Chains A and B, each alone.
Chain A
Amino acid sequence: MPIEVDGKTLETDEEGYLVNLNDWVPGVAEVMAKEDDLELTDDHWDIINFLREYYEEYQIAPAVRVLTKAVGKRLGKEKGNSKYLYGLFPYGPGKQACRYAGLPKPTGCV
């Protein structure tokens, strides 16, 4: 189902992930969050930006376990746990945050 962002129509797959990673603009995350009735805060953006940087560097979306450890290291130990991440992204930090960040679904994420 395509989504409308900043007046452009962007193609997504059957699970709602962007088909073309280069289509991503911050508005993508805003539009997707709105559909999920979620308001994005700076804490959400910290995770989304981290995911985009990780993908840029390693060309994959990190597994949740890797994401959790990396967040703990970069943003502080109190945030490096799945409770904190699920609090921000109730549909699962891997799946939901990667979708907002315009990345493919993490490998090994079923």
Chain B
Amino acid sequence: MSDTKNFMFLNRRAPYGTIYAWESLEVVLIAAAFEQNVSLMFVDDGVYELTKGQDTTGIGMKNFSPTYRTLGDYEVRHMYVDKASLEARGLTADDLVQVEWEDWETEESVDNIVEVVDSDRVAELLEESDVVFSF
């Protein structure tokens, strides 16, 4: 389909404290309905958005981290995490949620669409995107 574009959602901020992370997630959920190629990129404090075991009771905000795990159902195929940003915060891939993707027609599936990539790849992926939304 010629009018399908590659949308990249670039997430650079911590999940709480500002509304950016949640707004980004909401736009992703909406964009997926338009049958575009949607990918997500997490860099800087944005990597915290994907950490497991978040508990927001102390700050009185809704913990929306479980929502990332349904993005495969919304036909998001790639969620990239910048390796340097993870390492700078003492995190590894094991600290992040896993997101499954499955084609319900063909039963083709991917166990985890979250992928840790190096900075060169980050630059390349941003370059390849038709539209970048930065949050």
Determine whether the beta carbon of A66 is less than 8 Å from that of B66. Answer: no
The reply to whether A73 and B104 contact each other, CB–CB distance below 8 Å, is yes
Among B4-12, B44-52, B68-76, the stretch that binds chain A is B68-76
0/1 per residue, B1-19, Cβ < 8 Å to A? 0000000000000000000
How large, as a class, is the contact surface on chain B?
A: 10 to 19
Chain A residues near B26 (CB-CB < 8 A): 107
A50-68 contacts to B, CB under 8 A, are 54, 57-60, 62-63, 65-66
> Within 8 Å of chain B (Cβ to Cβ): is A76?
no
Q: Is A72 an interface residue (CB 8 A)?
A: yes
Which size bracket describes the interface of A in this complex? 10 to 19
Task: Determine whether B91 belongs to the interface, using a CB cutoff of 8 Å to chain A.
Answer: no
**A59→B63 contact, CB < 8 A:** yes
Q: How far does the alpha carbon of A63 sit from the alpha carbon of B26 in the complex, in Å?
A: 11
Asked whether any CB of chain B lies closer than 8 Å to the CB of A87, the reply is: no
B93, CB-defined interface residue at 8 Å: no
B67 interfacial by beta-carbon distance below 8 Å: yes
Indicate if the CB atoms of B69 and A58 lie closer than 8 Å.
yes
Residues of chain B whose beta carbon lies under 8 Å from any beta carbon of chain A: 26, 29-30, 32-33, 62-64, 66-67, 69-70, 73-74, 104
